[in-house]
């Protein structure tokens, strides 16, 4: 696998992780930190560091907006308004580890 393809695959996986974290508002940062050793804010800091290493002008709040998908203050308000999803989702839901393209193929075929 060449470097460009590897980077594209990593970028797609990262975007999938962000989408998943944005949808799972019941997964609080502290819980993710305790289980995985990182959280959304860590991702924001890593994103900011990568941007700064490449000379991109960005501050922490801008990096958080990239990770959270909206300004952090708005995200915090929205999370409080949303009902917490069941911790035991119905089995008819696709496995979150299944790429959406595979789910679409399975449902349309």
What is the pTM (predicted TM-score) of this model? 0.70
DSSP class of 95: P
- What's the pLDDT score for residue 77? 74
**Cα 44 from Cα 89, distance rounded (Å):** 28
CATH of domain 3-108: 1.10.3340.10
Each residue's pLDDT expressed in tens, for the chain with a length of 109 residues: 999 999 999 999 999 999 999 998 888 889 999 999 999 999 999 999 999 999 999 999 999 999 999 998 888 777 666 555 555 554 445 555 555 555 555 555 5
- What's the pLDDT score for residue 91? 47
Residue 82: name the closest of 18, 20, 26, 29 by CA.
26
- What's the pLDDT score for residue 82? 59
- What's the pLDDT score for residue 25? 84
What residues does each domain of the chain span? 3-108
* Residue carrying structure tokens 């997964």: 27
**Cα 96 from Cα 94, distance rounded (Å):** 6
């Amino acid at each position: 696998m060449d470097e460009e393809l590897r980077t594209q695959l990593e970028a797609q996986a990262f975007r999938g992780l962000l989408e998943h974290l944005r949808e799972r508002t019941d997964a609080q940062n502290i819980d993710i930190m305790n289980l995985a050793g990182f959280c959304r804010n860590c991702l924001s800091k890593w994103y900011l560091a990568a941007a700064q290493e490449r000379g991109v002008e960005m501050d922490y709040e801008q990096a958080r907006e990239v990770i959270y998908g909206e300004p952090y203050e708005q995200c915090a308000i929205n999370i409080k308004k949303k009902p917490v999803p069941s911790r035991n989702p119905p089995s008819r839901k696709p496995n979150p580890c299944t790429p959406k393209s595979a789910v679409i193929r399975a449902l349309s075929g």
